[in-house]
Structure 1
């Protein structure tokens, strides 16, 4: 069993991997961002929130989209990622960041006109408390828009990573259901129940296919999939030794080569795009 200090170490390594690969991850997630921002349109208001903002790329993009007198606040629980985001935005006047848990953070009386998140809302210990807190921070009729992953079987990459890691670790596949993690919001009815219970209305969830790709070599892609994603989580849970990791990498490299198209490596994935009104 991995102890708590080990869990913290694994989480720290994962965050550092995200920071190290910030540009690549943004490229991979660009189709998600494009769909999400299309759903937002041209938001009117003076204050907006980016939940689980990570390294701040979507916060910056929202800051470019809103009026010159509006501001955008990104909130994330990771100190390294918030520090990195602040470093990236030193010369941007209408963007700021808060290192805090949106589930419990006291946002104050000055409310937001809209909130968004790209893959940042599936990690709350108590989702209803979290979204109730977010709802309380929004003005009446403010928008909420976020993207989250659809079920594993609807996404090519996750399915490939999952099957490869499980095969070599000998771990059975345990459906995480609504457990905290990237796949917590797979079930659309579960998401609707959370948002309804948190005070949101006019709920809409659309499931869309995307093609996620980046200009990287198969070797870089396989290494990245070893560091970020479900294969990494399975290897940590299984306490995989070096030989097991090597075998997983070799198979993932084969998968990456099969998905190479010129200078790019890409995969089909599925997402839920969620919208609601406060």
Structure 2
């Protein structure tokens, strides 16, 4: 599968079939690529589902860069988006510095930033860095939004969300993630924008969907958002496999003869000496 270019990504507008998935390491990215995922995202959600933080706020640029490199190695032919972590996009200068590392060192094809940080977007696009926008629930600033709640439910909030999405489009983003947005509002935003929308908890009217890999396969159990469909109860399967391994070690069933390596007994003579 050839890597999707920005014009090709934009051409998916109106088709509702753009598939994005998070990936934070080599094997996950490789499997996702083999499964035909269009876009991979090294999201700062890695802070919660991989690193065990309570939120995405503690995630550092170095951590995002580390995982971006691994995902790139696993999926060299898939469009790879890397998140700008909290405050890395506080100014255009900081956004440019962070994006430079993610693109040049990490191999990212695009970067994603949360909220309507228009000056940062313009600076990145002017420098030749493709940008994916993100409105609705923005986890890095969830505390200011009242927690992990649906956004845009009041007339004023809905108007602001649409205005932010349109402003991001005007600033040059190639697409906009809509997170935890009411279905009718997500449909209206999608209709108004000429660039693709990618929904997560925003219904089926968006131009694509994104999920967190660990939610999809059921290995993150701290909480389960309403919008997640688990395609595998992987946590239970992995736990059972580890328990079976531990039981086999304790009972002596593992390792068995077939798991070891033989050698010529004569090779041991020099170690122990010949018996008289």
TM over 0.5, shorter chain: no
The structure with more strand, counted as a fraction of residues? 1
Q: Which structure is richer in relative contact order (CA contacts within 8 A, separation 6 or more)?
A: 1
Q: Which has the larger radius of gyration?
A: 2
